[in-house]
Amino acid sequence: MRLNKTSGILLLLAMTVVTACNHKDKKTEARAREVFKGLYSFAPGAKLFQFCGGQSQYWAADSSAQLELKYSQLINFEQSGTQVYAEVEGYKTKSATNGEAAAYDSTLIVKKVIKITKDIPEGCK
């Protein structure tokens, strides 16, 4: 009997963990649909995004695993740090307090790359 009670508790605990892990935060999902247009540059220790018409730079966290890849296909390693025009889907969040992103107030979490090109539109220079 004791084994069945323990098994039941463990099963209930496992179901709770699985349910909690599968729960999606609706605010995060809604923010993920926002499109940002601006200048992106990548260099060792600097993954930066600057919105068109803005002066502030944001740390860019590439959760899509496509932004850095597509950047490297456009820009030679010797030219790293060169700005390109990018349109991405994601959301802004407060930067971590440690690591490379800590030097920036906010981080842009990139969920999807819509467009990336060397051709920078006139209104975004």
Provide φ and ψ at 43, rounded to 5°. -150, 160
| Stretch 78-106: mean pLDDT | 89
Give dist(CA 95, CA 100) in Å, integer: 9
**27 pLDDT more than 50:** yes
**10 pLDDT more than 50:** no
26-124: which CATH architecture? Answer: Beta Barrel (2.40)
Mean pLDDT (the chain) is: 79
Give dist(CA 92, CA 109) in Å, integer: 6
pLDDT at 116: 96
**120 pLDDT more than 60:** yes
| Stretch 26-34: mean pLDDT | 58
Give dist(CA 52, CA 3) in Å, integer: 63
Residue type present at position 35? V
Provide φ and ψ at 114, rounded to 5°. -90, -45
| Stretch 52-59: mean pLDDT | 91
DSSP output for 27-57: HHHHHTTEEEEEEEEEETTEEEEEETT----
pLDDT at 97: 85
**8 pLDDT more than 70:** no
Q: What percent of the chain has pLDDT over 90?
A: 43
State the alpha helices, DSSP H only, in the chain. Answer: 2-22, 26-31, 67-74
54 Cβ partners below 8 Å, 6+ apart?
Answer: 38
Domain boundaries, the chain: 26-124
